[in-house]
Amino acid sequence: MNSSSVAQYILPVFVAMPLGGAFLIQLIKKISKGFCDIIANFILLLLLILSLSLLDNPLLVYKVGGWMPSKGIPIGIYLVLDGFSLLLLVIINMIGLISLIFSISYMKKFTNKPLYYTLFLLMIAGMNGVVLSGDLFNIYVFLEVAAIASYSLVAFGTEADELEAAFKYQVMGTVASAFILLGIIIIYSITGTLNLADVGRVLKDKVIEAPIILTGILFLVGFGLKGAMMPFHAWLPDAHPSAPAPISAMLSGVLIKAIGVYALVRIMFCSIGVTPLFADIMLVIAVVSMTAGVFLAFAQWDFKRLLAYHSISQMGYVMLGIWLMTPLGILGGLFHMLNHSVFKSLLFLNSGAVVYGTGSRQLKRLGGLNQKMPITGCTSFIASMSIAGVPPFNGFWSKLIIIMACIQSHHFSLAALAVLVSIMTLVSFLKVQKYVFFGEPKQELKDKKEVPFAMCFSMILLAFLCIIMGALLLPGVKELFIDPAVNTLVNGKEYISLVLK
């Protein structure tokens, strides 16, 4: 038995362990509440180590239940891990772990902490399932697991605002799921199979048939709603600020990527195939998200709401990179996805720390927190410079690559627009810094102090990642982590032969 055949047995663990942990926590919560903290954090730490241990593996396929393909046609459920899934897997478990460390202190003010951990782990299980799943229907099932957990987490505070946001989010999410399911049914009725690779094999010669165009539109609307792309974004600015801060970090840093962008890109690139028209439509959506998101963020005076609008804008960058369809663009897009998950979750954790320390998230009511909360102030400054694309930090490198890719593929106006949006992001975050952290503290903020250790620790960890992640582009490191993900998308159709062999 060689190493890759052993490694494939790790894949179901990514789904099974958080699922098991979620229900274990409900069982043991009567014995000790502190034990729940340890179990949840331990599971995420283990998953992060496991996902990092899979770094230099080739494509892994795990056939659930041992159902071998008959005559080259897959029958069972496949879990597939390639470079692109691995990138997402690392993001999910890394941000999940850091958010959980943050929650140890932050969630003390909520009454039912074990329930929070259960829902959190269910969400992780769902997202891990989405990125590992090798067939369409399992993508749908895991997506619903993650989505239902996230609806209840948005409503976790059970105040009027939270409930309203969660209801809105869930109505839109359910419509999105219906569209996705309809698309999956149509694909099944055309091809007679649900396995992504097998669908790709059957459809190889008939990319432009009318039902395929219809499914393309259905998936675009469905995953667009899940990923909050611009015409479908209305739930995000309500849902993200209403959730508890670590959940906002997870939703914005991970969820909209894993079940929105990842799922759409995976199905389109590796299975159904991208027509030039579809890529153009996605480019338009990306540019609209990028520009309109930053304009809407400009007018916000609520810290978390401002961050939520910037999420839409930054995901526009990610999609702009990926849907340029050039190797350089895909590199920039995926790298920005990784970077965005780090700095945006850091910013949301900062906003959580501000709310925890002062009880307010209105920019005009805050001020001078640099003196009272130095760690929060310092890390948020790093994150702000990172999201705005100021040179030494990670956001700069990925935006630079995306702009270079735009110029390389002769989209000069897009490149100019990307620079402009970046400048506006900088202005918007200077406003945040000025109103929240710089200057003299207001009279009512005089007695505030720094947040507890666990929260500081997770913020410092993310700030450190913001500073060093530019190094992932250095030759030697790049081949290990970023390049396999980029190659998966550049040679999208190779996926079919690799999985079916």
Partner 1 sequence: MIYFLCGLLLLVGLSGILLKRNLIKIVISLTIIEYSLFMFLAVVGYKQNALPPIVKSVTEEVNYVDPLPQAIVLTAIVIGLATTALLVALAVRIYEKYGTFDIREIRRLKG
Q: Among 46, 182, 404, 430, which residue interacts with partner 1 (rule: CB under 8 A)?
A: 182
292 is a site residue for partner 1 (CB under 8 A): no
Q: In Å, how far from its chain's centre is CA 16?
A: 21
Q: Count of residues binding partner 1 (CB under 8 A)? A: 34
- CA 153 to each of CA 156, 245, 360: distance values in angstroms, whole numbers, following the listed order: 5, 11, 21
Cβ-based neighbours of 307, under 8 Å, separated by 6 or more:
240, 241, 248, 252, 344, 347, 348, 351
Contact call for residue 167 and partner 1 (CB under 8 A): yes
Whole-number minimum distance, CB 122 to partner 1, in Å?
A: 11
Residues 159, 162: Cα–Cα separation, whole Å = 5
Q: Which of residues 443-482 bind partner 1 (CB under 8 A)?
A: none
CB of 93 to partner 1, least distance (A): 25
Residues 119, 125, 127, CA angle at the centre, nearest 5°? 105
Which of 181, 426, 430, 500 touches partner 1 by CB under 8 A?
A: 181
Interhelix angle 276-298/412-432, nearest 10 degrees: 30
Report the relative pairing of strands 60-63 and 78-81 from DSSP bridges: antiparallel
Residue 158 interacts with partner 1 (CB under 8 A)? yes
Q: Which stretch binds partner 1 (CB under 8 A): 48-56, 166-174, 253-261, 318-326?
A: 166-174
Cβ closer to partner 1: 203 or 265? 203
Complex with partner 1: residue 174 or 275, whichever CB lies closer: 174
Nearer to partner 1, 184 or 369 (CB): 184
Q: Which one, 237 or 441, has the nearer CB to partner 1?
A: 237
Q: Is 115 in the site for partner 1 (CB under 8 A)?
A: no
Does 189 bind partner 1 (CB under 8 A)? Our answer is: yes
Contact flag: residue 362 with partner 1 (CB under 8 A):
no
Do residues 19 and 121 lie in contact, with contact meaning Cβ atoms separated by under 8 Å?
Answer: yes
What are the strands, taking DSSP E only, across 133-187?
A: none
Least CB distance from residue 427 to partner 1, whole Å? 22
State whether the Cα torsion 415-431-169-115 is positive or negative.
Answer: positive
Task: Considering the complex, state which of residue 43 and residue 187 has its C-beta at the smaller distance from partner 1.
Answer: 187
| 275 binds partner 1 per the rule CB under 8 A | no
User: Which residues 208-237 are close enough to bind partner 1 by CB under 8 A?
Assistant: 234, 237
Q: Which is nearer to partner 1, 90 or 187 (CB)?
A: 187
Nearest to partner 1 of 112, 491 (CB atom): 112
Cα 25 to Cα 47: distance, rounded to the nearest angstrom: 17
- In this chain, which of 60, 124, 125, 155 binds partner 1, going by CB under 8 A? 155
Chosen residue from 1, 27, 31, 160 binding partner 1 by CB under 8 A: 160
Question: For partner 1, which residue of 29, 168, 365, 442 counts as binding (CB under 8 A)?
Answer: 168
Please give the residues from 128 up to 147 whose contact with partner 1 meets the rule CB under 8 A.
137, 141, 144
Phi, psi of 69 (to 5 degrees): -65, 145
Counting DSSP H helices and E strands in the chain, the numbers are 23, 2
CB of residue 194 to partner 1, shortest distance in Å: 7
Toward partner 1, which CB reaches closer, 181 or 500?
Answer: 181
Among 22, 43, 194, 461, binds partner 1 (CB under 8 A): 194
Q: Closest CB to partner 1 among 146 and 406? A: 146
Nearby residues of 84 by Cβ (< 8 Å), 6 or more positions away: 262, 265, 266, 334, 484, 485, 488, 489
> Which residues make Cβ contacts (< 8 Å) with residue 83, sequence separation at least 6?
483, 484, 485, 486, 487, 488
Contacts of 435 (CB under 8 A, 6+ apart): 363, 364, 366, 367
Nearer to partner 1, 171 or 420 (CB): 171
Region from 163-171, 214-222, 403-411, 419-427 binding partner 1, contact rule CB under 8 A: 163-171
Give min distance, CB of 176 to partner 1, in A.
11
Question: Using the rule CB under 8 A, which residue among 77, 185, 490, 500 binds partner 1?
Answer: 185
CB atoms within 10 A of CB 420: 13
**Backbone torsions φ then ψ of 133, nearest 5 degrees:** -65, 140
Assigned token pair, 110 = 């909520």
User: Per CB under 8 A, which of residues 240..259 are in contact with partner 1?
Assistant: 242
User: Is residue 151 part of the contact set for partner 1 (CB under 8 A)?
Assistant: yes
What gap in Å lies between CA 336 and CA 330, rounded to an integer?
10
User: Distance between CA 164 and CA 475 in Å, rounded?
Assistant: 49
Note the residues at the interface with partner 1 (CB under 8 A).
137, 141, 144, 148, 151-152, 155, 158-161, 163-168, 170-171, 174-175, 177-178, 181-182, 185, 188-189, 192, 194, 234, 237-238, 242
